[in-house]
């Protein structure tokens, strides 16, 4: 894993020491001797992680971190505070300023590099989500970066064998979260998969169970893959912590647990999860918008053109039938001319609803353009396709369409043309052309009818 790491320290010897260690692992290293210089570097170039000293002249590390996290362009960069300060209040202050980790000098090499790699993996995931969101011109995510204040309490799953420990941690997290406690790790795995948790905290104090097994299982199950996991470990159990981070655990806290540190670390994980969840949701919504018709909610022409060749190829290889039904509203222009385009939109939306009701779950319903629609029916021969089309035609004719602003509903009919994939017919365009010709035959024959293309 290669990345660009910024080392910020006003002591040249400290900078050289960290730089040498990082270069040995093939990281690209940038350096800064004070806070303003660090902010300038971050503004001018891409930085993947920052190792930040606290005690610097002028602007200390706490202020630098706060400024980085307040800036939307740099808020996503992981910050590791590396300092001689070792008091609990200093660590908590750093975490509250937005730091992702707080390491005390002299730093253990294994501890440093494990944490660096872990944070870089998490950043890579976030970067991918942000890139997709920015491509989709996503806006409005900064409120989620700023914190969880003012929104619903988080939901935390605590897995600990000891009831007394469960009670203590629950009290500590009460200001920000509702905690569900479980003693059985395997039951906890199913619980995490069934309910939407913001954070899982796993203790290492089980008598006959390896807690890292549960951590690994949470990462391997699809429904919990993105659930943040925090390990509660005994002081000095560095080998366990190192292995946990390698497995994908997001964070850890060592006993005796400082309530303020636990709150700060939990808050960081919850904020990051909610931000990434929001990005994923927005990316999914954007993808849906790209392939669905905004007016009707059906798939659009772009999706049909992309997906249809796949369906045709699959049907040909499996030697299974595939039918296409093209639907066109009769005299739709007169609806727009006489009642307005809003009325026409209401009719199209209602037609789409009836199409969804008439076709099966495996069928692909799309708006082809204007008042024309297409239904692709895999594993459907001509006889069955004709029955589906007739059922749809009747559903359109039988019940008049209600239009906003009109007391009287409108009588609407549609013409439908169907065609079935022939043996050896491998081009989607040919079956569409035959369905289209059948549709126009239905129009010329008096409308409000189903016509099948010649087999």
Contact 282, 137 (CB under 8 A): no
Beta strand pairing call for 251-254 and 154-159: unpaired
Tokens of 268: 């960081």
CA distance 402 to 417: 26
Catalytic residue among 234, 319, 371, 408: 371
Tokens of 351: 């037609």
What is the 3-state secondary structure of 376-429? EEECCCHHHHHHHHHHHHHHHHHCCECCCCCCCCECCCEEEEEEECCCCCCCHH
303 CB contacts (<8 Å, ≥6 apart)? 291, 292, 366
CA distance 178 to 347: 47
CA distance 161 to 145: 34
Tokens of 427: 């081009």
| Residue 425 known to be catalytic | no
Tokens of 253: 């806290």
Environment class of residue 294 by beta-carbon count within 10 Å: exposed (0-12), middle (13-18) or buried (19+)? exposed
Bridge partners (DSSP) listed for residue 292: 299
Give the length of the chain: 455
Tokens of 276: 């990434």
Residues tagged active-site: 371
């Amino acid at each position: 894993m290669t990345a660009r790491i910024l080392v910020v320290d006003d002591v040249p010897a400290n900078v050289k020491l960290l730089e040498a260690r990082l270069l040995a692992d093939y990281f690209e290293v940038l350096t800064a001797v004070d806070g303003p210089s660090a902010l300038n570097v971050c503004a001018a170039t891409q930085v993947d992680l920052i190792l930040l000293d606290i005690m610097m002249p002028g602007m200390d590390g706490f202020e630098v971190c706060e400024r980085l996290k307040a800036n939307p362009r740099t808020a996503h960069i992981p910050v590791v505070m590396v300092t001689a300060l070792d008091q609990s209040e200093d660590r908590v202050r750093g975490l509250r300023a937005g730091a992702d980790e707080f390491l005390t000098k002299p730093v253990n090499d294994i501890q440093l590099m494990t944490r660096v790699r872990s944070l870089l993996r998490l950043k890579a995931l976030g970067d991918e989500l942000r890139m997709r969101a920015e491509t989709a011109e996503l806006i409005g995510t900064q409120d989620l970066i700023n914190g969880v204040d003012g929104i619903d309490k988080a939901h935390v799953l605590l897995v600990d064998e000891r009831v007394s420990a469960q009670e203590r941690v629950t009290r500590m997290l009460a200001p920000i979260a509702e905690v569900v406690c479980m003693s059985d790790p395997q039951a906890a795995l199913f619980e995490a998969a069934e309910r939407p948790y913001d954070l899982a905290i796993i203790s290492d104090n089980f008598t006959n169970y390896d807690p890292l097994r549960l951590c690994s299982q949470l990462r391997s199950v699809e429904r919990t893959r993105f659930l943040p996991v925090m390990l509660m470990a005994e002081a000095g159990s560095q080998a366990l912590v190192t292995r946990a981070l390698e497995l994908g655990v997001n964070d850890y806290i060592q006993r005796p647990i400082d309530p303020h540190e636990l709150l700060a670390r939990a808050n960081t994980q919850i904020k990051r999860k909610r931000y990434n969840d929001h990005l994923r949701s927005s990316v999914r919504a954007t993808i849906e918008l790209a392939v669905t018709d905004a007016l009707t909610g059906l798939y659009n022409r772009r999706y049909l053109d992309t997906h249809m060749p796949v369906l045709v190829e699959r049907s040909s290889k499996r030697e299974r039938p595939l039918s296409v039904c093209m639907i066109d509203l009769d005299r739709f222009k007169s609806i727009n001319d006489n009642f307005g385009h809003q009325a026409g939109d209401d009719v199209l939306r209602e037609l789409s609803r009836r199409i969804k009701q008439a076709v099966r779950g495996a069928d692909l319903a799309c708006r082809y353009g204007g008042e024309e629609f297409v239904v692709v029916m895999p594993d459907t021969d001509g006889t069955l396709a004709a029955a589906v089309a007739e059922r749809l035609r009747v559903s359109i004719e039988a019940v008049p369409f209600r239009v906003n602003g009109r007391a009287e509903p409108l009588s609407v009919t549609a013409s439908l043309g169907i065609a079935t994939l022939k043996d050896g017919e491998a081009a989607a365009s040919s079956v569409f052309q035959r369905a289209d010709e059948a549709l126009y035959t239905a129009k010329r024959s008096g409308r409000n009818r189903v016509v099948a293309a010649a087999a």
